[in-house]
Amino acid sequence: MSEALTLAGRCLRMNRRDPEALFMAILLPVALMLVFVYFFGGAIDTGSAYVTYVVPGLLVLCAGYGSAGTAMRVTEDMRTGVVDRFRSMGVTGTPMLAGHVAASVVRNILATAMVLSVALLIGFRPAADPLAWLAAAGLLLAYLVAVSWLAAGVGLLARTPEGASGFTFFLMFLPYPSSAFVPIETMPTWLHGFAEHQPVTPLIESLRALLLDEPLGSAPWTALAWCGGILLIAVAASNALFRFRTR
């Protein structure tokens, strides 16, 4: 545990010296939000103010995009002699990756706060009580941890940071075929199956219901199950990968 904290501190210090990456992680979701609200929003009818409809999806997109950056950082790390030094000191894969994941979570909490602030400025009007805010934050946190760890695993698999960055695109596009930007009913029928059952849909639905005080249904549990499942697989797979890649 103290190993993981030391390593998280290391990753955070190193992040702080890479302001461009942090800036991108915040700027891109904010820019996307402005594009959707002001360029496309007028043409999309969701039955309410579009900014209010779109913010939960954007928060998830932002979280996925930010977490995916972990992949590149892990790949970068594996290319130096640092991993060998730490391993020769008895540090195993789990604390090594946990450090990256913790740093990713801190980074993304900052980015999420920024996106949310801008959203409130341009007219996002949530109707959530403190408990609902807390629940929403908890769900987003679960997603951040799960996706960051998955990204760390991808980072172990990739040979170059450029390769690892492909994962960022995958996670950025995942929210598009979901209810993030437009209601699923408006999509072609063949896409409904995927859009309704893919992992980010229940998460976006839960955040929307929690923040706008709408009926929740079973979405939060489905979302948590997805996050838990992804995390379990990511931890197991990345542990095996770490051993394999460092032998």
Partner 1 sequence: MRQPPHAAVEVQGLSKSYGDHAVLRSVDLRVEQGGVLALLGPNGAGKTTTVRVLTTLTDPDAGSVRVAGYDVVTERRRAQRAISLTGQFAAVDETQTGAENLWTTARLAGLTRAAARRRAAELLERFALTDAGGRLVRTYSGGMRRRLDLAAGLVGEPRVLFLDEPTTGLDPRSRRQLWEVVRELAAAGTAVLLTTQYLEEADQLADRVAVLHGGRIAAEGTPEELKASAGQTVLEVTAADAAAFARLEARTPHPVAHRSPETLTLSFPTRGDARHLRTLLDELDPGRDEITGFSVRRATLDDVFMALTGAPATETTGTTDAKEPSHV
Q: Measured from the CB of residue 144, what is the shortest distance to partner 1 in angstroms? A: 23
Residue 183 has what DSSP assignment?
-
Residue 90 has what DSSP assignment?
T
Which residue is associated with the tokens 């199950």? 225
* CA–CA distance, 189 with 200 (Å, rounded to integer): 19
Residue 3 or residue 196: which is nearer to partner 1 going by CB? 3
Residue 18 or residue 214: which is nearer to partner 1 going by CB? 18
Residue 11 or residue 51: which is nearer to partner 1 going by CB? 11
Residue 79 or residue 125: which is nearer to partner 1 going by CB? 79
Q: Helices marked H in the chain — which ranges? A: 2-16, 19-34, 50-78, 82-88, 93-121, 130-157, 161-173, 189-197, 200-212, 219-246
Q: Measured from the CB of residue 8, what is the shortest distance to partner 1 in angstroms? A: 11
* CA–CA distance, 19 with 203 (Å, rounded to integer): 29
Site residues (vs partner 1, CB under 8 A): 2-3, 6-7, 9-10, 13-14, 17-18, 78-82, 84-91, 246-247
* CA–CA distance, 141 with 194 (Å, rounded to integer): 24
CB count within 10 Å of CB 47 equals 7
* CA–CA distance, 242 with 94 (Å, rounded to integer): 9
Q: Measured from the CB of residue 95, what is the shortest distance to partner 1 in angstroms? A: 9
State how far Cα 183 lies from the chain centre: 21
* CA–CA distance, 215 with 227 (Å, rounded to integer): 21
Residue 77 or residue 205: which is nearer to partner 1 going by CB? 77
Which residue is associated with the tokens 């760890």? 149
Residue 79 or residue 197: which is nearer to partner 1 going by CB? 79
Q: Measured from the CB of residue 74, what is the shortest distance to partner 1 in angstroms? A: 14
Q: Measured from the CB of residue 65, what is the shortest distance to partner 1 in angstroms? A: 22
Q: Measured from the CB of residue 18, what is the shortest distance to partner 1 in angstroms? A: 7
